[in-house]
Amino acid sequence: MPAFVGVVKLNSIASSGVFHIGDVFAISPQSVVKTFAGAGSFNTGDGLHVYNYYSNTNINDADIADENVVANA
């Protein structure tokens, strides 16, 4: 059902985000991310003490493509 929309201010939108006003049949945002992180990378908090005397992150990936989003609607 159509609607009248007033002023819209868009400050930011993420890389896989969708901004939509109006009628739509399907919205399908797609994003693929591979993250490599060592020991203690995602720790959060106040007064955090992390002791990593030896940290090794293996990033050897034998396959060429992990997740294909081409023609994946």
Q: Above 80 in pLDDT, residue 7?
A: yes
Distance CA 48, CA 62 (A): 35
Distances (CA, A) of 26 to 18, 70, 73: 11, 17, 10
Q: Is the pTM of this model over 0.85?
A: no
Check residue 24 and give its pLDDT: 79
Q: In the chain, what are the domain boundaries?
A: 1-57
Rounded to an integer, the average pLDDT of 10-17 is: 80
pLDDT at 25: 82
Q: Select from 65, 38, 42 the least CA-distant residue to 53.
A: 38
Buried b / exposed e over 1-28, threshold 16 CB at 10 Å, is eeeeeeeeeeeeeeeeeeeeeeeeeeee
User: What's the mean pLDDT when you consider all of the chain?
Assistant: 78
